[in-house]
Amino acid sequence: MITPTPTAAPAPASERAALDFPTSLGTSDPTTIRLLGQDLSQDLLGKVGFGELAFWLATLRRPTAGETRVFESVLVALADHGFTPTAIAARLTFLSAPDAIQGALAAGLLGGGSRFLGVTEDTGRFLAEVLAAHGQTPRTDEEFDELARRAVGRYRAERRIIPGLGHPVHKEQDPRTPVIIAIAEEEQLRGTHLRLFEAVGRVHPEALGRRLPLNGAGVCGAALADLGLPVELLRGFALLARAAGLLGHLAEELRRPLANDVYTAVDRNARYVSPEATRAGRDA
């Protein structure tokens, strides 16, 4: 016979009164929902766009129209980039568990790392660290070039990858990069991070011996940093954008399934390699 676990006695009233969980985000009572100090129903619904709200939730301040335009441009730029590993992971997970769409979305988001999506955070962090270490903010393009030259040279000497340089598909120019820079310029939000990133684009061939394009995900990180968003959150904004793209892939999977074709193509073309050959470094 299993003895039931005794139910804990209610905490004394004095102890309950001492509990305190402060938040500046959302709260509710039987008749109202409050978000960011606003009445959700009366002040926000139909009056605030989702991108604007996401910025507001993260910073606890309502963005200006210009900030909203730059921020939402970044979200659009990062929403989808074709059959990336994150999209394939989401589709294959949906094939395996069509009853749990949250699992498919989560699978795709979990793939956001140093090669896909994480570049946004890595670039913003790199630029922020270079600027912080320099102390004095550069003013002219020449000063930004010199700062970028030293940073690129140091990374090269340490055999480290320079975040935001290069793209697996766009070998000459990432089409997103000049547009985002132009939008930031139009809104007078082309700040030190973007200017330093542009300088990296100008000077890196001197150290690397070849020219690489400025990655679109990297310019997104620079633009977000210029909006004053913490570098620790930049990957989160990339994931926020990609969640929309993944949902689009799952909707397409419902309309025109292809995940099973991907699975079958790999499964039917799998080739056995003996453990002995693997240990010997042979592929036969």
- Is the dihedral angle over the CA atoms 257, 260, 266, 268 positive or is it negative? negative
Q: How far apart are CA 235 and CA 214, in angstroms?
A: 18
Collapsing DSSP to helix, strand or coil, 165 comes out as strand
Q: What is the mean pLDDT of residues 35-47?
A: 95
- List pLDDT tens digits, range 95-144: 999 999 999 999 999 988 777 778 999 999 999 999 999 988 999 999 99
Task: Judge whether 58 and 229 are in contact, CB under 8 Å.
Answer: yes
Tokens of 71: 């921020």
Residue with the larger pLDDT of the pair 118 and 228: 228
Tokens 């600027």 sit at which residue? 131
Q: CA separation (Å) from 34 to 1, 101, 218?
A: 49, 29, 35
Residues forming a β-bridge with 28: 33
Q: What is the pLDDT of residue 115?
A: 76
CA atoms of 227 and 65, how far apart (whole Å): 12
pLDDT greater than 60 at residue 6: no
**127 CB contacts (<8 Å, ≥6 apart)?**
192, 193, 196, 197, 221, 222, 225
List for the chain the helix, strand, coil content (%; round to 5). Answer: 60, 5, 35
CA distance 176 to 215: 8
Q: What DSSP state is assigned to residue 82? A: S
136: Cα within 13 Å, side-chain hemisphere: 5
Reported pTM: 0.88
pLDDT exceeds cutoff 90 at 186: yes
Better-predicted residue by pLDDT, 248 or 5: 248
DSSP-assigned states of every residue in 192-219 = HHHHHHHHHHHHHHHHHSS--PBPHHHH
Which pLDDT value is given to residue 114?
75
95: enclosing H helix or E strand: helix 85-96
> In percent, how much of the chain has pLDDT > 90?
79
The pLDDT of residue 7: 59
Reduced to 3 states (helix: H, G, I; strand: E, B; else coil), residue 26 is: strand
Provide the CB-side half-sphere exposure for 143 (13 A, CA).
9
> Considering the chain, what percentage of its residues have pLDDT values greater than 70?
93
Mean pLDDT of the chain: 92
